[in-house]
Amino acid sequence: MAPENGSSSGHSYSMASVVMTGTDVKRVLSRIAHEVVEHNRGCTELVVVGLQTGGVWIAEELCNALLEIATFPCALGSLDVSLYRDDHALRPLIKSSSTDVPVSVKGETVLLVDDVLFTGRTVRAALEAILGFGRPKAIQLAVMVDRGHRELPIRPDYVGKNLPTSRSEMVEVTRQGVRILKEVGNAS
Amino acid sequence: MHRSLVSISDLTDEDITELMELSRVFFEVNSRDIPKVPALRGKTVATLFFENSTRTRLSFELAATRLSADVLTFTLASSSVSKGESLRDTAETIESLGADLIVMRHFSSGSVQLVSSWLDIPLVNAGDGAHEHPTQALLDAVTIMDHFEAGKRLDGIEVAIIGDVLHSRVARSNVQLLSRLGARVTLVGPPALLPTDLSLWPVKVSNSLEEVLPLCDVIYLLRIQSERFSESLMPSLAEFSKDFALTHDRLGRAKKTAIVMHPGPIIRGVEITAEVADSPQSLIRKQVSNGVGVRMAVLYWLFGAYQGRLESIW
């Protein structure tokens, strides 16, 4: 369960609408990979880092797509930002999620990857977290869905789909597609 | 409601698993270029030590610092205790100053429990008399687990705890924790240095190191706590060393895969020879480095940031 989705185990959701199919998701990943290559000419190494938990599989797919078309080497990592959140007392670490940055980010370009960009607080935490591993040359951000409602001055470099939502909705991103779920009531 | 960590018995099996998992999260943090996270920014951790310590106090202070907490250090020698201030007044003063958590060590068994009943903030027992030293047991358990790649349990692992068990809070915490995790614990020492009634302890007992040595996977040595001896419990340290010190020869009769552990401070030449302490089978320094991550886990966990209560949030 990705915090940025505004999802809640205390709330019930009903399926409202499918906004992207599995094929759309694949096509978007391929498109983003091409944009990344285009924007990173002359890059020595790109470190693709998925944010736990929703960004991890997207980072994997993106990294695979990049390995086929990129002229520079790509490494894959993951980041759990729980320890960096400003609302940590309200959230536990996600069980069994982990941080793994297998290569040095010093002087390299880092591509942060998440499923949904919402308030921007996860990305803020991720920026702080990744800087703990060294000073990258640049940090870029790729998200499958930008759903708006930003609370911080953060903007993505690569967006799969801009999706206007209300705060009470939840956006779910999987390999099978993207769905908007509407809240139907508070279960707790 | 706050929670304190006074004894291993304060922890449920689920708590123990959580603390082990969380410790590994912090081992990863400690391996980074900048081994520091902002998780406890704005919190104040006070260390209240009425007894000398090198590694435990430094380890807790480093753990708090790496979580971005502020650290208040109380040292007995320079405190108002020498002017006659009571334990209760000292502890309440530290709470009133704004400490959010106290790490406490004291020479009296039960003192940490007592102080925790007076205060509204969590306490961590960093050793109280001959009672308990729970964070030492946690770091020992995780060190053994990781070494033997044992997952979440220590089933079937044979542990010998050797030497001055009578005065050892480390032994009391370790016996509880390691046996709950499935290890089989044998206490080894001269009768005078073993507690008199061990019938309720989940352990085997032996007075012969030679007999136990070939069977164990973990050789856990304790320091002879001469400063706590109220009477002459044994003829001399040399007498003890003759039968119970881990020498190179004795280690040669143990399993090749056996590991040597010690909570420190080690007294080379008494319970362990220098050669053994520095041998590849010795995990003594690994214990110390793991201690920082384990204490980060304990502090973070006690601040309530990690209680596995997924249903209560979002």
- The tokens for B133 are 């030293």
pLDDT more than 70, % of chain B: 94
Type of residue found at A1: M
Instruction: Give yes or no for a contact between B121 and B102, defined as CB atoms under 8 angstroms apart.
Output: yes
Architecture of domain B135-283: 3-Layer(aba) Sandwich (3.40)
Q: pLDDT (tens digit, 0 to 9) for every residue of chain A, 188 residues total? A: 344 444 445 567 776 799 999 999 999 999 999 999 999 998 999 999 999 889 999 999 999 999 999 999 999 999 999 888 776 554 555 555 688 998 999 999 999 999 999 999 999 999 999 998 999 999 999 999 999 999 999 999 999 999 999 998 999 999 999 999 987 765 44
Instruction: Give yes or no for a contact between A129 and A81, defined as CB atoms under 8 angstroms apart.
Output: yes
Q: Does B33 touch chain A (CB under 8 A)?
A: yes
Integer Cα distance of B232 and B192 in angstroms: 10
What is the enclosing helix (H) or strand (E) of B242? Answer: helix B237-244
pLDDT of B16 above 60: yes
pLDDT of B11 above 60: yes
Instruction: Give yes or no for a contact between B168 and B224, defined as CB atoms under 8 angstroms apart.
Output: no
φ, ψ of residue B206 in degrees (nearest 5):
-145, 150
B240-290 pLDDT tens trace:
999 999 999 999 999 999 999 999 999 999 999 999 999 999 999 999 999
Question: What local confidence, expressed as pLDDT, does residue B299 receive?
Answer: 95
Q: How many CB atoms lie within 10 A of CB A13?
A: 19
Integer Cα distance of A168 and B62 in angstroms: 42
Comparison of pLDDT for B99 and A91, the residue scoring more: B99
Q: Least CA distance to A95: which residue of chain B?
A: B308
Q: What is the pTM of this model?
A: 0.87
Q: Least CA distance to A96: which residue of chain B?
A: B21
Q: Does B42 touch chain A (CB under 8 A)?
A: no
Burial of residue A54, with CB atoms counted within 10 A of its CB: 0-12 exposed, 13-18 middle, 19 or more buried: buried
Question: What local confidence, expressed as pLDDT, does residue A188 receive?
Answer: 44
The β-bridge partners of B158 are: B184
Question: E strands of chain B, at which residues?
Answer: 44-49, 70-75, 101-106, 123-128, 158-162, 184-188, 203-206, 218-221, 259-261
CA distance A17 to chain B (A): 22
Flag if B308 and A90 touch (Cβ within 8 Å): no
Domain boundaries, chain A: 3-186
Question: What local confidence, expressed as pLDDT, does residue A94 receive?
Answer: 59
Burial of residue B311, with CB atoms counted within 10 A of its CB: 0-12 exposed, 13-18 middle, 19 or more buried: exposed
Q: Does A108 touch chain B (CB under 8 A)?
A: no
Integer Cα distance of B41 and B126 in angstroms: 22
Question: What local confidence, expressed as pLDDT, does residue B19 receive?
Answer: 92
Q: Got the DSSP string for B63-105?
A: HHHHTT-EEEEEEGGGSGGGGT--HHHHHHHHHHTT-SEEEEE
Question: What local confidence, expressed as pLDDT, does residue B314 receive?
Answer: 28
Residues of chain B with CATH 3.40.50.1370: 8-133+289-312, 135-283
What is the number of residues in chain A?
A: 188
Question: What local confidence, expressed as pLDDT, does residue A12 receive?
Answer: 75
Integer Cα distance of B269 and B246 in angstroms: 9
Question: What local confidence, expressed as pLDDT, does residue A88 receive?
Answer: 55
Instruction: Give yes or no for a contact between A88 and A125, defined as CB atoms under 8 angstroms apart.
Output: no
B114-159 pLDDT tens trace:
999 999 999 999 999 999 999 999 999 999 999 999 889 999 999 9
- The tokens for B124 are 């961590």
- The tokens for B33 are 């270029």
Question: What local confidence, expressed as pLDDT, does residue A11 receive?
Answer: 67
Exposure of B233 in the CB half-sphere (CA atoms within 13 A): 22
pLDDT more than 90, % of chain B: 80
B146-158 pLDDT tens trace:
999 988 999 999 9
Question: What local confidence, expressed as pLDDT, does residue B31 receive?
Answer: 92
Flag if A92 and B306 touch (Cβ within 8 Å): yes
What is the assigned CATH class of domain B8-133+289-312?
alpha beta
Q: Least CA distance to B33: which residue of chain A?
A: A133
Question: What local confidence, expressed as pLDDT, does residue B227 receive?
Answer: 82
DSSP symbol at A92: P
Question: What local confidence, expressed as pLDDT, does residue A3 receive?
Answer: 43
Please list the alpha-helical segments (H only) found in chain A: 22-39, 56-69, 121-131
φ, ψ of residue B75 in degrees (nearest 5):
-120, 135
CA dihedral A12, A151, A128, A136 (to 10 degrees): 110
Q: Does A93 touch chain B (CB under 8 A)?
A: yes
Type of residue found at B286: K
Question: What local confidence, expressed as pLDDT, does residue A91 receive?
Answer: 55
From B32, B33, B39, residue closest to A88, measured CB to CB = B39
pLDDT of B9 above 80: yes
Q: Which chain B residues are Cβ-neighbours of A90 within 8 angstroms?
A: 313
Fold of domain A3-186: Rossmann fold (3.40.50)
